[in-house]
Structure 1
């Protein structure tokens, strides 16, 4: 496991867009052309994703620098229906093996580096289907992933669930580091001069106790 983990990390750090790692190939035939991932934050607790690297089950590596940024309205705890579905930027051809990304937690005033390792259960769920809740004559595929970014560097991952509450991907291995433990994300930030609260954040957090909810 350590060897595989190390190799995947090296592949992601190398970050060649469209490169293929035959040694780690475990292809899963997808019935769709693309799947999508979007980010969400709680209401008025902002974060900004700056760099994403992804390795899919066909062994292809992707690098994302233009990223569909987090949006969300959850208050106190995560809503069961967060996520936007399609994204013009955050997409890949086959289900993910690993996603590694850098993000500025503006509410925490620090940079985080998060790594997500996905189980085969998640990969197989993403290529499964059922009748669409809004139109049973259409087919729904579980290809819309949501990544939640909350205070204290807390990260959760779901699949949108065909009109039902999101499916929490509890089997995903999530590792988040900051400070001197940053590797890929060292010196990666959109706020090199520091963080300033803006918009509705100052009023929203007034008289509330950090981390402003249970995430």
Structure 2
């Protein structure tokens, strides 16, 4: 943990000069070229991710400012099949040690800062494979991560699971803060929370009790 924290501190001091990932160190040989992470939100309870920093298992540091934004249709609780698979922006070479990101919860009218620390079990699972459910002659790798962002700053993480319900990564350490506890995300936002809700949000939350489901 001390090594990860030291590398994270170095990563957070590293600037970003483009919209895509910035690599800092070397690589390891993975059974795939890249893995992907996407974000999801419940239906009509939107959020926007504004900044992502990632440290992978080989010491690569990535900074993302151009981000494949959350999409989702879950109502009341998370669907077992959320996630888009490939992403044109959110990708890395080796499994993650940690991901730290800033996100605007439009429904909460708050900025949140979330840190995810991943276990070796998750990293090993991402390097494993099995026959693809749609075509057994093809190989399926568990390299598609989904991060769910819900009201009250609730965050969950899954791996998509070869045609089966997503695998909830229960060993992931998840910490989310807001307000005066923001660090990396202090002053980082793309949202005007004084604007109010769009009509589709107003219609969806009408007569519902916050936080509009169990997340």
So what's the TM-score if we normalise by structure 2? 0.93
Q: In the alignment, what sits opposite 1:19?
A: 24
For structure 1, the residue ranges without an aligned partner over 5 or more in a row are none
What does the per-residue CA deviation read over 1:17-49, in whole Å, with 9 as the maximum and x for residues that have no partner? Answer: 2112x8xxxx76310000000000000000000
Task: State how far apart, in whole Å, the 2-side matches of 1:153 and 1:8 are.
Answer: 26
Q: Distance in 2 between matches of 1:193 and 1:148?
A: 21
Q: Given that residues 106 and 193 in structure 2 are in contact (C-alpha distance below 8 angstroms), is that contact kept between their aligned partners in structure 1? A: no
2:59 corresponds in structure 1 to: 59
The worse-fitting range, judged by mean Cα deviation, of 11-20 and 71-80 is 11-20
Aligned-pair RMSD on alpha carbons? Answer: 1.4
- Which stretch of the first structure deviates more once superposed, 185-194 or 162-171? 185-194
CA distance in 2 between partners of 1:5 and 1:61 (Å): 12
**1-side partners of 2:97 and 2:11: how far apart?**
11
Displacement of 1:11 in angstroms is 2.5
Taking a change above 3 Å as real, the CA distance of residues 195 and 51 of structure 1, as seen in their structure-2 partners, is farther
Supply the distance in 2 between the matched residues of 1:96 and 1:59 (Cα, whole angstroms): 9
SS at structure 2 position matched to 1:200 = helix
TM-score (norm 1): 0.93
Matched position secondary structure for 2:176: strand
Instruction: Report the alpha carbon displacement of residue 15 of structure 1 after superposing the two structures with TM.
Output: 3.3
Match of 1:129 in 2: 129
Q: Which runs of 4+ in 1 moved over 6 A?
A: none
Instruction: Quote the offset at 1:199 in angstroms.
Output: 4.5
1:52-131 map, 5 Å:
52-131=52-131
- Answering whether residue 6 of structure 2 is matched by residue 7 of structure 1, we say yes
Q: Distance in 1 between matches of 2:159 and 2:176?
A: 20
